[in-house]
Amino acid sequence: MGGSERQGPEGPLARAARSLAIAGGILLVAAMAVTVASVFRGALGRPILGDTELVELLVGVAIAWFMPWCQARRAHVRLDVFTARAPAAMRRSLDAAAGVLAAIVVAVLAWRLVQGGLDAHERGRETMFLQIPLFWGYGAAGLGMLLWSIVAAVQALEGLGFARRRPGP
Amino acid sequence: MTPHDVGIAMFAAVAVLLLARLPVGIAMLVAGAGGYAAIAGLWPLLNTLKTLPFSRFSSYTLSVIPLFLLMGEFATKGGMNAALFRAARAWFGHWRGGLAVATIGGCAAFGAICGSSLATAATMSQVAGPEMRRAGYSPALATGTLAAGGTLGILSPPR
């Protein structure tokens, strides 16, 4: 850990993805704080009611918010054993095609998530104990998916040479 | 197509998509969604996708991972890897090639705690590397041992 996270992709989109990931990290710290507090209070016989659903919401949004930064750093797990010896040009075009497909798939996910959030809002879906409206989680996760899709699309376009390629390492 | 045929086609689809360097998660999602649409239809798929992705992310079980990684960081900074390497050395050190065996043992024990290949390889190299060099191991064997053992970190849960 540490160190390797310091350098990375640059540009406004990458900065946005990075900020969203940091915000997700803050949510994750909040989820950890809730867990720790609940365990301590549980030891005194008064655990926090509905702590699991708070943690679930926070973790769900945090994961969705990490995804754009993961894409910006091209850190999603891929199999490159079989194409490691292929010519660089072929790998680049494969990566661009994969990027376009990923962008489309994630855009569909974002669309469905927002739709699901609207449904949850309409039907007033809430968590069981704390009655937190669920559409917050869906909307926030949809934001992460949307940015993920944009980052993937821009990467693919850069790979195909349509967009200005930033000087990379 | 029967559901059975769809299943076989989806296996083939995952293999092709992985070879095309698509991220593993996306490849599995595409194949699974395609199979679902082929069997149940497009609208059921789109309706499932309204709630399924978020309920997959929003899982209480996943909340242990950040705590686990934090524990791994503490163990790394606390010098636990050196202690584990000493223990493995006491057990296996008297064998022929015992230092290499002890390195693998230390890596396995530390990887089980830490869960990160990068951290395991980096810290075990600092502890076991100089020891092996001092014992006259060839650099090829020493680094090979560390590379093989260090990457055990990712195999043990949860990462």
Please provide the distance, in angstroms rounded to a whole number, between the alpha carbons at the two ends of chain A: 20
Q: For residues B144 and A17, give the distance between their C-alpha atoms in angstroms, rounded to a whole number.
A: 37
Residue where the block lists tokens 């993961």: A70
Asked whether the beta carbons of residue B59 and residue A59 sit closer than 8 angstroms, the reply is yes
By the CB < 8 Å criterion, does A5 face chain B? no
Which of A112, A132, A149 to probe the B interface (max B CBs under 10 A)?
A112
CA distance B94 to chain A (A): 34
The pLDDT score that the predictor gives to residue A4 is 44
Contact B49 A101 (CB under 8 A): no
**Residues in A touching B14 (Cβ below 8 Å):** none
Nearest beta carbon to residue A82 from set B19, B30, B46:
B19
Hey, how many other C-beta atoms are within 10 angstroms of the C-beta on B54?
28
Rounded Cα gap, residues B142 and B124, in angstroms: 11
Residue B5 is encoded by which pair of tokens? 């045929």
Looking at residue A1, its pLDDT comes to 39
How many other C-beta atoms are found inside a 10 Å radius of the C-beta of residue B34? 16
- Interchain proximity B21–A91, CB inside 8 Å: yes
Extract long-range pairs of B13-22: CB within 8 Å, 24+ residues apart: B18/A78, B18/A79, B19/A79, B19/A82, B19/A83, B20/A94, B20/A97, B20/A98, B21/A78, B21/A79, B21/A80, B21/A83, B21/A91, B21/A94, B21/A95, B21/A98, B22/A78, B22/A98, B22/A101, B22/A102
| Percent helix, strand and coil across chain A, each to the nearest 5 | 70, 0, 30
Cα–Cα distance between B136 and B142 in angstroms, integer?
Answer: 10
Query: Is B73–A1 a contact, with Cβ atoms under 8 angstroms apart?
Result: yes
Q: Of B50 and B68, which is predicted with more confidence?
A: B50
Name, in order, each residue with C-beta under 8 angstroms of A161's C-beta and a sequence gap of 6 or more.
none
The backbone region for A137, taken as left when phi is positive above 0, alpha when psi lies in -120 to 50, beta otherwise, is: alpha
Q: What pLDDT digit, counting tens, does each position of A112-142 carry?
A: 999 999 998 998 888 878 888 888 899 999 9
Which residues of chain A fall below pLDDT 70? Answer: 1-8, 162-169
B16, B17, B19, B21: best mutation site toward chain A, by most A Cβ within 10 Å? B21
Q: Which of residues 56-115 of A touch B (CB under 8 A)?
A: 56-57, 59-61, 63-64, 76-80, 82-83, 91, 94-95, 97-98, 101-102, 105-106, 108-109, 112-113, 115
The answer to whether the CB atoms of B21 and A52 lie below 8 A apart is: no
Give the pLDDT of residue A168: 47
Question: What is the DSSP secondary structure assignment for residue A3, as one 8-state letter?
Answer: S
Selection from B71, B76, B70 nearest residue B121 by Cα: B76
Tokens of B12: 């083939």
Predicted complex ipTM: 0.79
- Top-confidence residue, B113 or B55: B55
What is the rounded average pLDDT for all residues in chain A?
85
A48 — phi, psi (to 5°)? -70, 130
Q: What is the pLDDT of residues B60-117, one digit of tens each?
A: 877 777 776 677 777 777 877 777 777 877 887 778 878 888 888 888 888 877 767 7
Q: How many CB pairs under 8 A join A and B?
A: 103
Residue A165: the pLDDT is: 53
Quick check: A116 and B62 CB within 8 A?
Answer: no
Residue of chain A with shortest Cα separation from B18: A79
* Cα distance between residue B114 and residue B156, in whole Å: 9
| CA B50 – CA A110 distance, rounded (Å) | 9
Residue A139 neighbours by CB under 8 Å, 6+ apart = A114, A117
Strand partners, A133: A126
Identify whether the C-beta of residue A130 lies closer than 8 Å to the C-beta of residue B71: no
Instruction: Report the pLDDT value the prediction gives residue B122, as an integer from 0 to 100.
Output: 76
Q: What is the mean pLDDT of residues B32-49?
A: 91
Q: Mutating which of A67, A104, A105 best tests the B interface, going by the most B Cβ atoms within 10 A? A: A105
**Cβ–Cβ gap A137/B19 under 8 Å:** no
